[in-house]
Structures are given as C-alpha cells and as structure tokens.
C-alpha cells in the first residue's frame, strides 16, 4: 500500500507520464525505488539528464505526508494501474494513466502522520485505498456519452429518450462534467438512480471542480455513490491541453462512445477518435443537416458510426441482451383506460395539451389531472409551454 504514496507523488510531475514510467519500471523494481533514485541513476535509464535533474530538484520540495493527508480529507482514492480496482477496459489502451484519483462518498478520518515520510504508514491512514463505493469502476457495462456544450432542445430530448433508459437498465454512464450534453447525461443517470462517472480535466477535489457552475452536480455525483475521477492530483487547474488527455480516459473506460450533437471541431469528436483508435464502438444520432451541432454526428455516420434511434440500438450493438430485457420490462404501461388513451398519443416528440384534448376527446380538467398524475408516476414529462413527451 505504501507504493501508492509514491505513485500519487509521481502523478504530480508531468514529465513522467505512463509511457516513461513503464520504461523506468524496466530498470527499477518499484515506484518507490524510482522516487529514491539519484538523478544520475535516472538519467541512465533513458529519462534524460535534463529531466532527471529537474525531477531530482522538484522532488526535494514535495511533502508526501501532507499530500497523503489532503487526499484523505477530500475522500480521494489512489488507484494505480496494478490495482484490482483499476478499470479493466482502461488498462487495454496504449497509454493508460498510471494513477487515478477517485473521489467517492466515504468520509476519511486520517490517522496521525507517520514519523517518517513514506515509512510505516498505517493502513488506516491510506485514502480509501480502493475502498469506498464497491464496483463503481468495475461495472463492465459502460458507455461514454459526450456532446456539445450548447445543447439544443433536440439534444436534450435525445438524452431523455435514450440515455435515461440505458442508465435505468444498468449501464454506467461516463462523461466529462462539461456544460451541455455531458451535464445532461450525468443528471439523467442520477435521476434514474443509476451510476455515472465524471472524468475531469483538473483535480477532483471540491475546490478545483471545473466548470464551477457544475460543482453542485459534482457533489451530487459523489453523494449518490457514483464517482469523480482524474489523472490529475488535487488542486490541479483544468487547462485546455488537459482535455484531449481526459477524453482518452472517457473513451478508454467505456465499451462504446455515444456522441449527441457536436460541431465539426468539437472535443467530442476527439473522444470518438480515441474510441475508434482503441477499437471501441462509436454511436451517434442523425441530425438536422442545417445545424452546426449536427455536422459532427452526421460526419461520424459517414465514417461508419452506428446510427442510434433508440436505446435498444446501443444494447444490440454491444450485445447486451440481458440489459435490453431490462429496458423492455420497464416500458411504460397504462394503469387505466384514461392513461392508455393518453399514452397512445405520446412519443418522444412534444405534443401540446390542446392537441391531446382533440385526440383523446377528454375535457381540459380531466386531461390535466391525468397528466399530472402520470408525471408524478414518471410516465410523462412536461417540457414547457404545455407540451408533453413520454418520460422514457
């Protein structure tokens, strides 16, 4: 377990990434040995004299005890690539992060600091050490959901119509906590009491969550038993060049990537590209050819992405028949003849209450009362302007 102390420390030095660390581990038996090696020893392993000297100088200012205590206070796990709790799919990519910082809902009460940095650290002082919410990162049924920050009404409907049933069926929804489609996918999953994982481009500690407008969402994710993860240590600000690296993790820990609305230069397409490079499935929905946010998905379709018209399309492509059965079993059924008549008129397309009155021949009071009860049951949704859609 002590080895994790050194992994998390190395994660703070950005010039030793996963590829370089693998090279170093061909010479040194453990990460602790790498941490304690001289600059000359490190240089001889191929790290290079300049980087080795820079690392040796930087290392002097690192307080590992303090770092460890801060992780514990934030409830952040340290999961390394040789940990059983490391996401199995993520291990398969070319450059999986050597360390993941994972924040889950488990309070930590650190034990007193060890008297010697890195020596004699008790198990009780380890930040979660793979504990916390069991299975959050181990569910093999994972789907990345990404898209534009400027979600349209169409994009919102797609999230409700397709992502919610997938979350309800048991797929873990992975996204990036960004504004727009990412946040909508997280919220949709939480509303179904499902599991969602937010992969961040900065630290996952409460003070550094980005974007700040999604901090409440981040806290809800943690409180619900889901997780925030990052390859960046706490207090690392989200920088533009972090996000392409973040996107490889989103795609890497998912069996497929579902793109909902994206411009031609969208970061979501980088995630889709990672998925293709990692030999994973890519899904998207056709879009209006006159909209900028449809250009990305429509181009993906031309490249061979799976077209998606309903949740079952994704389950079929991923060969998840058991989950498909769950979706089928949870389809909306009427409780009485009134609901049956109303449901016959509803779909994923919005319909105004006046049209429902004409089609059902119910008076306004009876229809409004029935719709209110059906919304409370989770069968229909009011999307504003007295327009209604099926909730699933």
| Whole-number pLDDT of residue 332 | 74
What percent of the chain clears pLDDT 70, i.e. is strictly above it?
89
Does the structure show a pLDDT above 50 at 129? no
Q: 342 and 382 in contact (C-beta within 8 Å)?
A: no
Residues 190-233 have pLDDT tens digits of 999 899 999 999 999 999 999 999 999 999 999 999 999 999 99
| Cβ-based neighbours of 100, under 8 Å, separated by 6 or more | 77, 78, 79, 80, 86, 229, 230, 231
pLDDT at 296 over 50: yes
The mean per-residue pLDDT over the stretch 66-91 comes to: 92
CATH class of the structural domain 142-329: alpha beta
pLDDT at 327: 57
Check whether 381 has a pLDDT greater than 90: no
The pLDDT tens digits of the residues spanning 329-373 come to: 556 778 899 999 999 888 777 899 999 999 999 999 999 999 998
Checking if the pLDDT of 32 tops 70, the result is yes
Residue 18: exposed, middle, or buried by beta-carbon count in 10 A (0-12, 13-18, 19+)? Answer: middle
Q: Whose CA is closest to 224, among 197, 248, 205, 247?
A: 197
- Domains of the chain: which residue ranges? 1-62, 142-329, 337-390
Residue 110 has pLDDT above 50, yes or no: no
Mean pLDDT, residues 146-168 taken together: 94
For 121, list phi and psi in degrees, rounded to 5: -75, 125
**DSSP letters along 198-226, please?**
EEPSS--STTT-SSGGGHHHHHHHHHTT-
| Range with lowest mean pLDDT among 224-228, 302-306, 324-328 | 324-328
At residue 14, the 3 state secondary structure works out as coil
DSSP characters over 38-61? -HHHHIIIII-HHHHHHHHHHHTT
CATH 1.10.10.10 for the 337-390 domain, yes or no: yes
Residue 121: both structure tokens together: 């650290």
pLDDT band at 324 (very low <50, low <70, confident <90, very high): low
Contacts of 50 (CB under 8 A, 6+ apart): none
70 within 8 A of 234, measured Cβ to Cβ = yes
The pLDDT, as a whole number, for residue 378 is: 78
Domains 142-329 and 337-390 share a fold: no
**What's the rounded mean pLDDT across residues 16-39?**
94
**Mean pLDDT taken over the chain:** 87
Residue 174 — φ and ψ, nearest 5°? -105, 130
């Amino acid at each position: 377990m002590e080895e994790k102390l050194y992994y998390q420390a190395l994660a703070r030095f950005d010039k030793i990434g996963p590829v370089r660390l693998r090279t170093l581990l061909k010479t040194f038996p453990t990460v602790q040995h790498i941490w304690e090696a001289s600059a000359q020893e490190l240089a001889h392993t191929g790290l290079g004299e300049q980087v080795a000297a820079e690392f040796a100088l930087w290392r002097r200012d690192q307080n590992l005890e303090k770092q460890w205590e801060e992780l514990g206070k934030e409830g952040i796990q340290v999961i390394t690539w040789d940990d059983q709790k490391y996401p199995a799919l993520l291990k398969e990519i070319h450059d999986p992060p050597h360390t993941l910082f994972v924040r889950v809902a488990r309070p930590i009460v650190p034990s007193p600091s060890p008297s010697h940095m890195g020596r004699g650290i008790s198990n009780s002082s380890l930040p979660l050490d793979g504990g916390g919410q069991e299975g959050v990162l181990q569910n093999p049924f994972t789907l990345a959901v990404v898209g534009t920050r400027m979600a349209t009404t169409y994009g919102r409907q797609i999230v409700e119509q397709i992502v919610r049933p997938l979350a309800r069926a048991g797929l873990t929804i992975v996204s990036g906590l960004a504004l727009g489609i990412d946040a909508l996918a997280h919220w949709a999953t939480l509303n179904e009491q499902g599991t969602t994982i937010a992969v961040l481009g900065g630290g996952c500690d409460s003070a550094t969550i980005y974007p700040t407008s999604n901090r409440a969402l981040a806290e809800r994710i943690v409180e619900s038993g889901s997780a925030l993860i990052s390859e960046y240590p706490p207090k690392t600000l989200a920088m533009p060049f972090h996000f392409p690296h973040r996107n490889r993790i989103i795609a890497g820990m998912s069996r497929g990537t579902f793109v909902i609305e994206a411009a031609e230069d969208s970061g979501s397409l980088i995630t889709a590209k990672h998925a293709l490079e990692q030999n994973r499935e890519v899904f998207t929905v056709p879009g209006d050819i006159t909209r900028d946010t449809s250009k990305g998905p429509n181009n993906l379709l031309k490249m061979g992405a799976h077209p998606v018209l309903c949740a079952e399309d994704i389950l079929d492509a991923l060969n998840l028949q058991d989950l498909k059965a769950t979706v089928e079993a949870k389809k909306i059924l009427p409780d009485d003849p009134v609901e049956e008549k109303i449901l016959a008129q509803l779909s994923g397309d919005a319909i105004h209450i006046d049209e429902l009155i004409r089609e059902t021949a119910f008076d306004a009071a009876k229809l409004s009362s029935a719709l209110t009860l059906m919304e409370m049951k989770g069968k229909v949704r009011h999307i504003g302007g007295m327009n209604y859609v099926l909730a699933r």
